[in-house]
A = this chain, B = another copy of it.
Amino acid sequence: MDLPALVDHHCHGVLREGPEERGAFEALLTEADAPPAPGTSYFDTQLGFAVRRWCAPALGLPAHAPPEAYLARRRALGTAEVTRRLLRAAGIGAFLVDTGLPGPLLGPEELAAAGDGQAREVVRLETLAERAAATADSADAFLGALDEALAQAARTAVAFKSVAAYRHGLHLAPAPPAPAELWPAADRWLSGGDRARLTDPVLLRHLLWSAARTGLPLQLHTGFGDPDLRLHHADPALLTDFLRAVRPTGCRVVLLHGYPYHRTAGYLAAAYPHVYADVGLALSHTGARAEAVLAEMLELTPFGKLLFSTDAYGLPELYLVGSRLFRDALGRVLGTAVAEGAWSPADAPRVAALIASGNARRLYRLGREG
């Protein structure tokens, strides 16, 4: 199916150099924080197989080249060339980059240049707060600096993003914190907490509500991810009361990933006009099963509410894999619906274009393509 250039509405930088070694490469193929179990490899996953399938040919190897051959080819070409080849093959026209992750990563403009697309920034709320806390000597100073940082970010970013699901879980009190909660929470964090890692639920709520009031869309991590989350605390259904409370502000909320609660995310996008859902991680990590997972997302999610992203991080492979799995899965799901007569031949490409780019362009006010 012909698609317009994709808008990747949630992604991250890739490494400036490397990784050279197999272990370092494998570590970026998984959400785990440790080497694989003895006798196993992170290449032996749906994502690992998808990398060999889609990326080996882009580097001039046969599809499914073995891991060692692939990594050798990667080293021979050099990081810049590998990045350029994989990103260009992804066909992404706009990269909305969450810049809140640390590391020697390409910035949004560099990424977009390598991929021949345009870049915009998504600002991670917890990172803003951690930066504001780093030098603050009082709750007043911290909250003031945070306010200022939020206002400044809102002038250029296209969205805010929160990882409250990791830091606390989504079972947050739905209302904005009262001042009588907020200042003591800030005091506690500054005096006793790890300023490099915000986990206080009052401060997390303050971030969500501060972002909501800017009028920018708010991206929320939901569903699976790193092993520092409790999966059942990342069920987007837990956000229901927050979604209701924030609705009058006009804030539009994007539920990222969602898997294995992606059907719940679809329900929320169907039930609330200001809620959107995303494919994200759920496709890259399920590989050969991306069609099945995408089809489940297309059960309840209104077709004007589903967004494409790769959630790529570290490896440019994740851009190409995310993009190719999405295109392929979307073509199959919609092709099946048309072949069975359930959808009309005219609706299918229209809906495909919405999910590939139109919904994101409307939501983030990116303007027309080109």
Contact = CB atoms under 8 A, between A and B. Distances in A.
Interface string A241-284: 10010000000100000011001100110111110000000000
A295 interface: yes
Copies of chain A in the complex: 3
A34 interface: yes
Contacts of A304: 36-37, 39-41, 44
Contacts of A232: 235, 237-238, 240, 264
Interface string A39-59: 111101110011011000000
Contacts of A268: 231
Contact of A273 (B37, B224, B340): B37
B285 A32 contact: no
Interface stretch (A12-20, A147-155, A309-317, A343-351): A343-351
Given A227-B272, A295-B292, A52 B302 contact: no
A299 B273 contact: no
Most-contacted residue by chain B among A230, A304, A341 (CB, 10 A):
A304
A264 B299 contact: no
Contact of A270 (B31, B38, B264): B31
Contacts of A305: 37, 40
10 contacts: A32-B272, A36-B273, A37-B274, A45-B270, A45-B302, A64-B343, A224-B267, A287-B342, A288-B337, A293-B299
